[in-house]
Every structure is written in C-alpha cells, then in structure tokens.
Amino acid sequence: MRRLLACTALALTTMPAHAQERTFWDLINPDAIAMQFLQSGIFALRTQIELTYGDMAISLLDGRIAMEGVEMVIPARLTGAIDCPASVDLIEIRTENPVSLVTLSGHVELRGIDVPATCFGPQGIAAGAFLPGGRIRLPEAVIDYAYDMPSSGLQVGLRTTLEERVAVTADVDFDYFSLREVANRSEPALWARLSGATVALQDLGAWDIAAPFLPPEATDPANAAQFVRQNGSGMIGAGSAQDSLAAQAFIEELASGWAAFVADPDRLVIETGFPASEPRTIDPDLIQRLDEGPLPLIGLLEPRVGADRASEREALPITSVLPAIQRTDALPPDSRRTVGLALLRGDGAPRNLAEAERLLADLSEGGDTEVSLALARALERRDPEAAYAYALAAGPGGAAGLRGLLDRLEGTLPFNTVLRLQSAAPDPTEDDMAGPANELLARAEAHLRGVDARRSLRHALIYASIAAGRGSRDAQALLDRIDRAVPSDGVDAWIPVAQDAEAVALAGWLSPGDR
C-alpha cells in the first residue's frame, strides 16, 4: 500500500498544470486586458452591424492584433442600398516598434476581402457587370503608415488588387500633419502640409473589358487626347481665373497621359506636380471649398499624368552608380555624396548600407553633417556602435533630432564603448581653455548635449571645471549634471577619465590667458 501511495504521489507531482489553474498574473496580463478592451469595441460595433469572427490574437510586446474569419452583415440604413454581407479572411494590425517614442509606424493588412457589388447601390450594380461573379474581391489590401513625432510628418501607403482587374497603389506624404480646433466647430479639423501624393493603376484585365463600352474616340490613340480636351472642361466645371488656369493645365496633362495609356494600356500614374520641398497647405477653408467641385483640389495638387512616377524618372542611371562602386577614389566628392546617399536611403538606387558607408565615411570625417546624421540613422539598429560614431561626428553641425538619437544609442551601448568613441575628439588647446567663463560654460554645455559640439563627457568636464574655477556658479551646477550623466555601472570606467580631465582642466586654469 505504501508503495502504491508513493507511486501515486510521484505521478501527481509530475503531471502538467491544467488550463483551469489560474494565477494572479492572469488578472493583470497586459495582453488579456487589451483583449478585453478590444472585445468591448466589438460589442459596441455589434450594436450597428452583425459581426462574427473565427479567432483573435493579440500581443502588445510584438505590437500585433489579428482577427481571422470575419463575417459581417452591414444593414441597409448604413449602406444606403441593401443589407450587405461581407467577409474578410484576415485582419492584422502590426506596429513596427511598439516601444518607440519617436516614430509611430505600422502595417494594417486585410486579406481575402469579399463584398457583393450590389452593396454600393446603382453604381455598384453597374460596376458589378465588369467584375468576376459581380463581387468585389481583394486578395489583399495593405496600408503602411509612419508618423514622426518630432516633426509631425506622416507617410501613408496603400497597396491592393481588384481580382483579375486592376492593381492600385497610393502614397501620400505630409510634411506636417495635425488636427486643430476651429471656431464654431465641435470637432478638430485637418490642418496639414502635403509634400506629395501618387496614385498608380496597373491594368490586370480591366482595360480589355471596359474599352468596348467607351466612346471610340476615347480608345483611339490618334484621337484620345483631343477627346479629353473637348470633354474635360465640362466635367470639371467653372471657377475663378486661377482655378481655371490650373484646370486647363490639368486637362492638357490628362490628355497627353490618357493618349499614352491608350497606346500602351499598362499603367496610369497620377501624382502631384509641385516639388516636395514646397509643400502645399490643406486647411479647413480648402476642405470646405471642395463642396463646390474639384477645382480647388486640382489647383492645390497640380496633377501630372503619365506612365511612371517621378521617383522612377529620378532614379540614378547605372552609369552613375557603377563607377562609384568600382572606382570610388576616382569619383568627385559631390558624385560620391549623391550616389552614397541614394544607396543609403534606397531612393534612386537599391539600398546597400555597406556600399553607402564606404562611399560616405570620408565625407562624414570631413565634417558633412547631413551625411553623418544620415549614416547614424541608417545604422541605428544594424550597427549601434558605428551609428554612435557617426552621430558624434554630426554634433558640431547642430542637426535637429541629433540629441535624441545620441541618447537612444547610449541606452543600447556599454558605457565603456561610449567613452571610447567619445575619446576620439582631440584635447582642447590652451587657446580653447583661455576664454571667459561664460564662453567656457557654453562649450561645456554644448559638449554635454552633443549639439553644436561633439558629445564628450570628458570635454564637458574640462570646460565646466575651468569655468567653475573662474567663479561661474552655473558651471558648478553643470559639474553635478555631468556626474549624474554617468550610469551607476559605469563609475569604475569613468573615474580614470574624469581624473585625467580634471588634470587637464587644472593645467588650463593655471596657464596664463584671457580671463
């Protein structure tokens, strides 16, 4: 009996925990709490539509929310047509870096969208005649977004495909994006500066179906441009003299672009025609004017119509990139800079960080702030140590956003490494240490910030010590800030550096000079 009881006890101790066993962690698990909030939203949505789903998963650490097997019926009062049954195989929302305090970026993906065309009223019924099975089927629809908190810049991209008909891509870039309070309105209104927008349509079979239903002149390459000119003005409407000039310019663009598409019906691209460096303002007044017609929007965007994007036309020719890769030393600095930045950003050439760094490293050492900062940002995740070295090199130029970048990189690097990279700066000369106290204090603060001077705790300590010795109370307070900037686990590494800096400062203070 004792042997039986012992064996039973041993077996029970080795049995796995069952799902019904709960811990306090189950009550405060962030994923579980987020799931409850999401389910509350689903309950609220179900007051408006019929909605079911097969499964749902959420991970705050990974920045991911996913729902599978979504089925819904949108009532006629919302569609304005009929009760609309729709389905989505997968809805997934992902954030690129959930803990980032600088960039809010992510990815919204919908797969297997299936909606009857009849849900969209008479226009949908007419369009359904051109769609397989009379249904709008999108194998996927992907939205990418990136919002930069410091600059309030926003980039949004959309990619989707209408099954067997057309692929659509759209990109919108805002130099500044915000919502502002407006007098006599209960809700904030959009206020933004648009730096560019592009819509591209890739034919996958829609043209062959739609062309027979269009007027013959519209599909004849020889007459298509004239057809657009004759009919465009009536479609756009009338407006002010300035709007009319913009409309006429757009009609000419559309005429030439449409004629080119008809001759080779592959892709049609519509994009903004103004330089990205001269963004256009979108405000509540403009939005209100859109109720009168499209002329204000045409005047704002100055649309261009063609078969390719401006970014494609501006791509660097291979004859420029190849010599830069094969014969770097023989290339002028300006050419190396152009090709190197293109390779670094993947703008105008395929992204290749190794080749970009090889082309740009000398320019960074020569004091090119833009190049140094671009290298630091590009290498921030791939090689934090190299990124920190380039960020330090950008310091004298005082680039915007540099201080935050330095702080983030220091948070990922060992303090020994930080001190080693900072030590690359040359020691101050006697003339450097001979200025008045307020000038030395300004230098110390610049070195501590890493903006307008290369970041260096050692240099900050030298200048602050001399300034304090000349009676600056602010410099004495700065010395305390320098001490607090040293992490607790880096004190041992800092002591010899600080002792050496204090020796240099004392020697500089004792030297004769302008006090």
Q: Angle at Cα 38 formed by Cα 33 and Cα 42, nearest 5°?
A: 145
Mean pLDDT computed over 159-164:
89
Q: Is 429 exposed, middle or buried (0-12, 13-18, 19+ CB in 10 A)?
A: exposed
DSSP-derived letter for residue 18 is P
Cβ-based neighbours of 346, under 8 Å, separated by 6 or more: none
Whole-number Å distance between alpha carbons of 109 and 56: 14
Domains and CATH numbers, the chain: 315-413 (1.25.40), 420-515 (no CATH)
On whether the CB atoms of residues 488 and 457 are closer than 8 A, the answer is: no
Mean pLDDT computed over 36-46:
92
Q: What is the pLDDT of residue 513?
A: 56
Q: Is 15 exposed, middle or buried (0-12, 13-18, 19+ CB in 10 A)?
A: exposed
How many other CB atoms are found less than 10 A from the CB of residue 291?
7
Structure tokens at 49: 């539509």
Which candidate, 85, 84, 105, places its Cα nearest to that of 94?
Answer: 105
Chain segment 485-499, per-residue pLDDT in tens: 999 999 999 999 999
Which candidate, 383, 393, 452, 394, places its Cα nearest to that of 425?
Answer: 393
Chain segment 167-210, per-residue pLDDT in tens: 999 999 999 999 988 777 778 889 999 999 999 999 998 888 88
For CA atoms 428, 432, 436, 440, the dihedral sign is: negative
Whole-number Å distance between alpha carbons of 92 and 66: 4
Mean pLDDT of all residues belonging to the chain = 86
Instruction: Tell me what percent of the residues of the chain surpass a pLDDT of 70.
Output: 88
On whether the CB atoms of residues 73 and 83 are closer than 8 A, the answer is: yes
- Secondary structure class of 417 (helix, strand, coil): helix
Q: Is 60 exposed, middle or buried (0-12, 13-18, 19+ CB in 10 A)?
A: middle
Helix then strand then coil, % of the chain, to nearest 5: 50, 20, 25
pLDDT class of 239 with cuts at 50, 70, 90? low
Chain segment 21-34, per-residue pLDDT in tens: 667 666 678 888 88
For CA atoms 80, 293, 199, 131, the dihedral sign is: positive
Cβ-based neighbours of 415, under 8 Å, separated by 6 or more: 486, 487, 489, 490, 493, 494
Which candidate, 390, 473, 461, places its Cα nearest to that of 437?
Answer: 473
Chain segment 295-323, per-residue pLDDT in tens: 888 888 999 998 887 776 666 666 667 66
